[in-house]
């Protein structure tokens, strides 16, 4: 695969990779609906107007980003170019991560440059791997994750209500007199997963593959209250579609095939082997 230089991808769209699968909860899930949820509890789960719960793509994207930001602190990955400036990584609390890339530029940083045009090119090419994949204040990311719709046959329409006590974040101890209840989606409920990544280079593609493998192994938790054991999940039934946009004909073929049957005919034969190959390309055994 010929790689588009990382910072030129917006100028040259060469391919699109789509990974789909089924994300099954192995523990209950709480993705807060925030203000406006029609819940009798203090904290409802996010739902469509007709009541069906879903997982916002942004919620899973955030979980993947922080997971990969941590993995990019592993020396072998950083040496392979999978570095991270830790733009959205945990701050003062928790382990003190060491960024493996210099701080990526932010809009304020650009404004302070005298020659804005020259600064731009330099800034884009200096972005770390997690910023080019997931986005930064100066550039949209290459990854998109659609909202994950519930798989009807795995969901009976019920939510469970849990009692919680207020926990002091610093001490980790219960706070007297602070009680609340919240909704969770039952364990066993599954959601349809779709991730698109546009024109990744070998490093970015490898990182996506690592994220998929971690999801398959159940090592990434999603939603809220993960420290209370919620949000464990496993990705299965993956399919990988690798579409070539390097010519007008190939692009036309892509859009035409999607119009016919809603899917491209470029699904790879063995998606798990493809994921393996992408990881090996990122981390070749010497
Ligand atoms: Zn960065």
- Residue 252 pLDDT: 80
- Residue 7 pLDDT: 57
- Residue 92 pLDDT: 43
Q: Ligand 1 centroid to 216 CA: how many Å?
A: 26
pTM: 0.84
Mean pLDDT per segment of 10 residues, for the chain of length 286 residues?
55 82 96 64 81 92 93 86 78 62 75 61 80 88 96 90 71 68 91 95 95 97 88 96 82 69 68 96 82
- Residue 38 pLDDT: 58
Q: Ligand 1 centroid to 101 CA: how many Å?
A: 7
Q: Ligand 1 centroid to 136 CA: how many Å?
A: 7
Q: Ligand 1 centroid to 28 CA: how many Å?
A: 32
Q: Ligand 1 centroid to 70 CA: how many Å?
A: 13
- Residue 94 pLDDT: 52
Q: Ligand 1 centroid to 62 CA: how many Å?
A: 14
Dihedral of CA atoms 242, 245, 246, 249 in degrees, nearest 10, equals 120
CB atoms within 10 A of CB 14: 18
- Residue 90 pLDDT: 55
Q: Ligand 1 centroid to 37 CA: how many Å?
A: 34
Q: Ligand 1 centroid to 270 CA: how many Å?
A: 32
Q: Ligand 1 centroid to 131 CA: how many Å?
A: 4
Q: Ligand 1 centroid to 137 CA: how many Å?
A: 10
Dihedral of CA atoms 207, 213, 218, 219 in degrees, nearest 10, equals -30
- Residue 270 pLDDT: 94
Q: Give how far Cα 162 sits from Cα of 65, 159, 209, 223, 225, Å.
A: 28, 10, 35, 15, 11
CB atoms within 10 A of CB 171: 8
* 132 touches 139 (CB < 8 A): yes
Q: Ligand 1 centroid to 273 CA: how many Å?
A: 30
Q: Ligand 1 centroid to 57 CA: how many Å?
A: 21
| Residues in the chain, total | 286
Q: Which of 112, 252, 128, 115 is closest to 201 using CA atoms?
A: 128
In whole angstroms, give the CA distance from residue 272 to residue 286.
Answer: 22
């Amino acid at each position: 695969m010929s790689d588009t230089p990382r910072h030129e991808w917006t100028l040259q769209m060469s391919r699109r990779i789509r990974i789909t699968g089924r994300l099954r909860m192995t523990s209950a899930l709480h993705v807060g609906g925030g203000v406006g949820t029609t819940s009798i509890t203090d904290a409802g789960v996010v739902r469509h107007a007709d009541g069906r719960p879903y997982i916002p793509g942004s919620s899973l994207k955030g979980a993947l980003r922080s997971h990969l930001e941590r993995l990019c602190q592993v020396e072998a990955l950083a040496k392979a170019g999978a570095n991270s400036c830790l733009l959205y990584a945990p701050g003062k609390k928790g382990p003190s991560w060491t960024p493996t890339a210099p701080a990526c530029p932010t809009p304020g940083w650009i404004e302070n440059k005298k020659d804005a045009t020259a600064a731009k090119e330099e800034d884009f090419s200096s972005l770390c791997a997690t910023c080019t994949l997931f986005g930064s204040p100066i550039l949209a990311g290459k990854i998109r994750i659609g909202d994950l719709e519930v798989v009807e046959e795995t969901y009976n329409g019920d939510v469970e209500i849990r009692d919680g006590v207020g926990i002091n974040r610093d001490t980790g101890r219960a706070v007297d007199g602070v009680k609340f209840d919240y909704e969770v989606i039952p364990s066993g409920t599954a959601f349809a997963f779709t991730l698109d990544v546009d024109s990744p280079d070998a490093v970015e593609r490898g990182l996506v593959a690592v994220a998929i493998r971690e999801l398959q192994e159940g090592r990434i938790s999603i939603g809220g209250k993960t420290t209370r054991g919620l949000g464990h999940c496993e990705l299965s039934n993956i399919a990988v579609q690798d579409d070539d946009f390097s010519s007008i004909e190939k692009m036309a073929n892509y859009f035409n095939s999607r119009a016919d049957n809603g899917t491209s005919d470029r699904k790879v034969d063995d998606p798990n082997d493809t994921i393996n190959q992408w990881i090996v390309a990122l981390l070749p055994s010497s």
